[in-house]
């Protein structure tokens, strides 16, 4: 596959490309590349073009005016079916837009279509979506289509969700920028719930600048970002799972740290508080324990129309008790202020995004080893793309900040992205 450079977003943002032209360009790319990539599950081509034309004749509403975007098919949309890649919801048409879709449309962004998801953004069936950099590799999950579509340059921006690693992982595997904000800062209304204590809405974009524009349109940049590009304080956080990092990820993390230091930023090794090493296990208990509750109504209604993974989740095959779930929630909650306190001395911590390059397509979509703990801790995470591994596939790193420092993490990510790009 030979995909276009993903730069439509920058052109719209700078005003060099009108909204209608941008939508038209996206549609042409989708028509050409998506039969093989399979990142979109439905489109609203004519309606999007009409909206774009109208927006081109309007005064700008804000930083996303005229910007084409897609939404993972777990976000409800009033004018497109929402199927969650679940047979029980084939042809399902919600009555209104999810909160985040509504906010982006009110801000002048143009909904182009819905992107493929792993069933119910959970442990269910896996879509046929390809990695834009290698058709035999997974694009990651569960936001498979959002990662692939943005990574391939078919659309500059796509909404995603993360309960384990479902935004950062596909962004990393597909070579796109990705943002998982602080949990709770944006409403998840109208997104199919999986594990409410973890579920976070996020987005994948062609670059960090567009991540920032999206955050601004959603009101997340209420505090000023970092300054002129010098004097960042970065913690190098290898995490308790460093021995699971492959050579590609190890090299990316070291190179990112080196680039920051060479540019005059302070990089120091950090570690988490006692108990950090158990965060991934606790996240697992919360995700599957709450997932079992979330899927009960669907399961009792039509178990045969759910994938095997969802059925097993609803049947609590892992045997998670209410006491297990409560204990995991409490352990995680106790660590949140401790991580915030440690992070307060830094602009962000630098950590791996994924174990390595995208693995082959198969029964899974790659591991969330470096995402679970941060999701559980409710921390803002930004995946910065730009590195390539030994197999020629994207590898990246993420920056992670204290809760509610989304703006600061994005600003640091912007600096790091420029350094990687100039490398």
Q: What's the min distance (Å) between Cβ of 194 and its own copies?
A: 10
Nearest to 27 by CA among 90, 100, 104, 112: 112
Q: What's the min distance (Å) between Cβ of 96 and its own copies?
A: 8
Q: What is the largest CA-CA distance in the chain?
A: 59
Nearer to its own copies, 32 or 90 (CB): 90
Nearer to its own copies, 246 or 312 (CB): 312
Contact 206, 6 (CB under 8 A): yes
- Terminal-residue alpha carbon distance, the chain: 25
Q: What's the min distance (Å) between Cβ of 168 and its own copies?
A: 22
Q: What is the DSSP letter of 91?
A: T
Give the H or E element holding residue 43. Answer: strand 40-43
Q: What's the min distance (Å) between Cβ of 389 and its own copies?
A: 37
**Is 72 in the active site?**
yes
d(CA 343, CA 380): 11
Q: What's the min distance (Å) between Cβ of 102 and its own copies?
A: 4
d(CA 24, CA 22): 5
Q: What's the min distance (Å) between Cβ of 239 and its own copies?
A: 23
Contact 395, 389 (CB under 8 A): yes
Nearer to its own copies, 255 or 278 (CB): 278
Nearer to its own copies, 223 or 247 (CB): 223
Bridge partner list, 382: 179, 399
The one catalytic residue in 39, 99, 146, 166 is 166
Nearest to 232 by CA among 214, 205, 257, 211: 257
The one catalytic residue in 19, 39, 99, 142 is 142
Contact 88, 305 (CB under 8 A): yes
> Cα 251 to chain center, whole Å?
23
Parallel, antiparallel or unpaired: strands 157-162 and 68-72 = parallel
Nearer to its own copies, 1 or 334 (CB): 334
d(CA 413, CA 262): 16
Name the site residues for its own copies (rule: CB under 8 A).
Answer: 92-97, 99-100, 102-103, 106, 182, 184-189, 192-193, 196-197, 219, 290, 293-294, 296-297, 300-301, 322-323, 325-326, 329-330, 333-334, 336-337, 340, 403-404
**Is 16 in the active site?**
no
Q: What's the min distance (Å) between Cβ of 240 and its own copies?
A: 22
Give the H or E element holding residue 346. Answer: none
Contact 142, 192 (CB under 8 A): no
Report the 10 Å Cβ neighbour count for 214: 31
Contact 194, 294 (CB under 8 A): yes
Contact 122, 350 (CB under 8 A): no
Nearer to its own copies, 50 or 316 (CB): 316
User: What are the Cα distances from residue 5, in Å, to 113, 118, 175?
Assistant: 20, 26, 11
Catalytic amino acids? 72, 142, 166
């Amino acid at each position: 596959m030979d995909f276009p450079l993903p730069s439509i977003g920058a052109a719209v943002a700078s005003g060099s490309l009108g909204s209608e032209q941008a939508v038209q360009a996206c549609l042409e790319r989708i028509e050409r590349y998506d039969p093989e990539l399979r990142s979109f599950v439905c489109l609203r081509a004519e309606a999007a073009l009409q909206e774009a034309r109208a927006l081109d004749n309007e005064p700008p509403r804000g930083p996303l005016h005229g910007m084409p975007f897609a939404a993972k098919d777990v976000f409800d949309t009033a004018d497109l079916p929402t199927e969650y890649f679940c047979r029980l919801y084939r042809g399902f048409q919600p009555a209104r837009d999810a909160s985040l879709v509504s906010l982006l449309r009110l801000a002048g962004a143009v909904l182009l279509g819905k992107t493929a998801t792993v069933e119910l953004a959970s442990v269910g069936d896996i879509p046929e979506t390809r990695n834009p950099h290698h058709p035999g590799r997974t694009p990651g999950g569960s936001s498979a289509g959002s990662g692939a579509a943005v990574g391939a340059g078919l659309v500059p921006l796509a909404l995603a969700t993360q309960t384990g690693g479902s935004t950062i992982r596909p962004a990393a595997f597909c070579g796109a920028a990705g943002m998982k904000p602080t949990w709770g800062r944006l409403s998840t209304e109208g997104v199919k719930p999986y594990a409410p204590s973890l579920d976070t809405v996020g987005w994948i974009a062609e670059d960090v600048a567009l991540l920032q524009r999206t955050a601004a349109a959603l009101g997340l940049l209420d505090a000023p970002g970092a300054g002129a590009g010098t004097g960042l304080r970065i913690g190098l956080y290898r995490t308790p799972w460093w021995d699971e990092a492959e050579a590609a990820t190890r090299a990316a993390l070291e190179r990112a740290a080196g680039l920051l230091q060479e540019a005059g930023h302070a990089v120091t090794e950090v570690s988490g508080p006692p108990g950090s090493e158990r965060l991934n296990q606790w996240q697992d208990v919360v995700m599957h324990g709450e997932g079992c509750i979330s899927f009960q109504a669907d399961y009792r209604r039509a178990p045969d129309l759910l994938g095997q993974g969802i059925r097993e989740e609803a049947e609590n095959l892992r045997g998670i008790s209410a006491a297990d779930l409560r204990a995991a929630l409490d352990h995680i909650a106790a660590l949140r202020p401790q991580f915030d306190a440690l992070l307060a001395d830094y602009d962000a911590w630098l950590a791996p995004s994924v174990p390595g390059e995208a693995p082959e397509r198969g029964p899974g979509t790659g591991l969330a080893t470096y995402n679970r703990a941060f999701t559980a801790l409710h921390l803002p995470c930004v995946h910065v793309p730009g590195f390539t591994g030994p197999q020629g596939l994207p590898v990246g790193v993420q920056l992670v900040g204290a809760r509610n420092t989304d703006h600061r993490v994005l600003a640091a990510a912007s600096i790091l992205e420029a350094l990687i790009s100039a490398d």
